[in-house]
Amino acid sequence: MSHSSLGAAACKKFTSSKVAVFGLVVFLSISLLCLFSRQLFSFDPNAIDLDATLLPPSALHWLGTDQIGRDMLARTFAAGRISLLVGLASVLLAVLIGTVLGALAGYFGGWVDNLIMRLVDMVMTFPPIIVLMTLAAVIGSGTGKTVIVIGLLSWPLVCRLVRARILSVREMEFVAAARTLGAGHGYILFKHCLPNTMDVLVVFSSLGFVSAIMAEAGLSFLGLGVQLPDASWGSLISIAREASVLRQYPWIWLPSGVFIVLTALSANFIGDGLRLIFDPKTNKE
């Protein structure tokens, strides 16, 4: 009845979904491994050893070594730190901007909608490469900036999705009911409209997480993204551009790929669990 028991109920609902729990466990373990990789693994992820290049997985190097002899186990998890950070933060940013603007546009309509949607039109039209190139030159490099750039480029889709959903939700009668109870626009938006966008936000977030990770890899050339000697999952996968790496040294890129899929998948499962909390009707089926 109280709020804590509501939280407990939500928890119970969440845990009632096996996949959601599985997702959470996987996600947390990967995050922890990445976060504490430097403490956990004996190798320095950036330590090069030109006498031990391209070694296949062995007892010493569990995931082998790369072209300049770095331990891929340590490197993969160290890369994960950056990728997780970039993925999560930029998706968060995109969702934040997109949801706020989309909600405003969809809910208020009229000139607000017009203004925001024209902004969306504009951002969608900007060729990302040009924006990135210029931004990189103007604002310089760094992980934080990468997050901002990716976030700033990917919010329009969220915005359109949220707006479209809210356009129909705002016509529903319970919204009118809330208004007659004295609910202000903010309250209606947050309490009644936005929960209805959960489904698309969950999908966007888990897909956006992956695209942010991949985008980050592409950005490092522009001075954004991860800088040498550090790596990110995206940049490790990009090494597979080298045909020999792709075919002969899969231990360099495959683990990162697997981890990207795993984290995205678990994020998605978590999202599904969250959806259960928000959608009473899909209870335990």
Partner 1 sequence: MNSADVILDVKGLTTSFQTAGGCVKAVNDLSFTLRRGETLAIVGESGCGKSVTSFSLMRLLSRQAQIQGEAWLTGRDGERLNLLALSETEMEQVRGRQLGMIFQEPMTSLNPLQQVGEQIAEAMLTHKLCDRKQARQRALELLTLVGISAPEIRAQQYPHQMSGGMRQRVMIAIALACKPQVLIADEPTTALDVTIQAQILRLMRKLQGEVGMGMLFITHDMGVVAQIADRVAVMYGGQLVEMADTRTLFRRPLHPYTQGLLASVPRPGQSGRLAGIPGQVETVYGPHLGCRFVNRCAQAREVCRVDRPVLFVHPAQQLVRCHFAGL
Partner 2 sequence: GEQKLTGAFDVGSAGNAQKFNPLTAPAGFSFYNKYFGTLALYDVGLQKIGGDLAQSWAYAKDGKSLTLHLRQDVKWHDGKPFTAADVKFTLELVKNPAMASVFSSRLKDVSAIRVLDAHTVLIELAQMDATLPDAFTSIMMLPSHLLSHIPAGELRSSNWWKAPVGTGPFKWTRYVPDQFVELAANPDFYRGKPMLAKLVNRYFKDASAASIALQAGEIQFSSMTLDQVRENQSTRAVDVIAGPSHVLNYIGFNNSDPRFKDVRVRQAILLAIDRKAIIRSIYNNTAILGNCVLTLPQYVPADINPYETSVSKARALLKAAGWHQTEALEMLTYYNDQASKDVVTVLQAMLAQVGISIRPRFVDGPTFGTLVDANKFSLVYAGGGNGPDPGTLIPLMQSSYAPPRGVNRMRVNLPELDQLFSAAQQETDDARRTALYQQMCRLTNAQLPWIPLWVGERFGGFARNVQNVIWTPSPGGGRYQDFPERWSIR
Partner 3 sequence: MHTLSEKYSVAADSADAILSFARVGITFQTRTGMFGPSRLLRAVQDVSFDLMRGEVLGIVGESGSGKSTLARLAMRLLQPTSGEILYEGKPISTYQGAQLKQLRSDVQMVFQDPNASLNPRLTIEQSLLEPFILHGRGDRQERDAEIRRLLGVVGLPVTVLQRYPHEMSGGQKQRVVIARALALKPKVLIADEAVAALDASVKAQIINLLLDLQREYQLSIIFISHDLPMVQAMCDRVMVLYLGRLMEYAPRSVIAQGGRHPYTRALWRSSPAADPDCRLEEQEMLAGEIPSPLNPPDGCVFHTRCPQAVTRCKQVVPALTRLNPQHGGACILFENPSEIN
DSSP 192: I
Q: Cβ closer to partner 3: 118 or 191?
A: 191
Closer to partner 2 at the Cβ: 76 or 266?
76
φ, ψ dihedrals at 53, nearest 5°: -90, 150
| C-alpha–C-alpha distance, residues 62 and 72, integer Å | 8
Residue 138 engages partner 2 in binding (rule: CB under 8 A): no
If binding is defined by CB under 8 A, does position 284 make contact with partner 2? no
Among 1, 59, 171, 228, binds partner 1 (CB under 8 A): 171
Rounded Cα distance between 64 and 252, Å, is 8
Question: Which residue in this structure is represented by tokens 């707006």?
Answer: 163
Among 173, 180, 181, 243, binds partner 1 (CB under 8 A): 173
Instruction: Give least dist CB 128 to partner 2, A.
Output: 15
Does residue 31 belong to the site contacting partner 2 (CB under 8 A)? no
Q: Which residues bind partner 3 (CB under 8 A)?
A: 1-2, 6, 9, 172-174, 176-184, 187, 191-192, 195-196, 278-281
Q: Which residue has the tokens 């028991």?
A: 5
CB 12, min distance to partner 3, A: 11
DSSP annotation of 228: T
Site for partner 2 contains 51 (CB under 8 A): yes
Q: Is 130 in the site for partner 2 (CB under 8 A)?
A: no
Residue 59 near partner 2 by CB under 8 A = no
Closest of 10, 39, 15, 35 to residue 25, by C-alpha: 15
**Full DSSP string of 226-279:** --TT---HHHHHHGGGSHHHHHH-HHHHHHHHHHHHHHHHHHHHHHHHHHHHH-
**Which amino acid is located at 19 in the chain?**
V
Compare residues 247 and 281 and give the one whose CB is closer to partner 3.
Answer: 281
180's CB contacts (< 8 A; 6+ apart) are: none
**What gap in Å lies between CA 241 and CA 265, rounded to an integer?**
24
Nearer to partner 2, 1 or 243 (CB): 243
Could you say which of partner 1, partner 3, partner 2, none residue 76 binds, taking C-beta under 5 to 8 angstroms by partner kind?
Answer: none
Which residues of the chain form contacts with partner 2 (CB under 8 A)? 46-48, 50-51, 53, 67-69, 137, 141, 220-221, 223, 227-229, 239, 241-245, 247-248
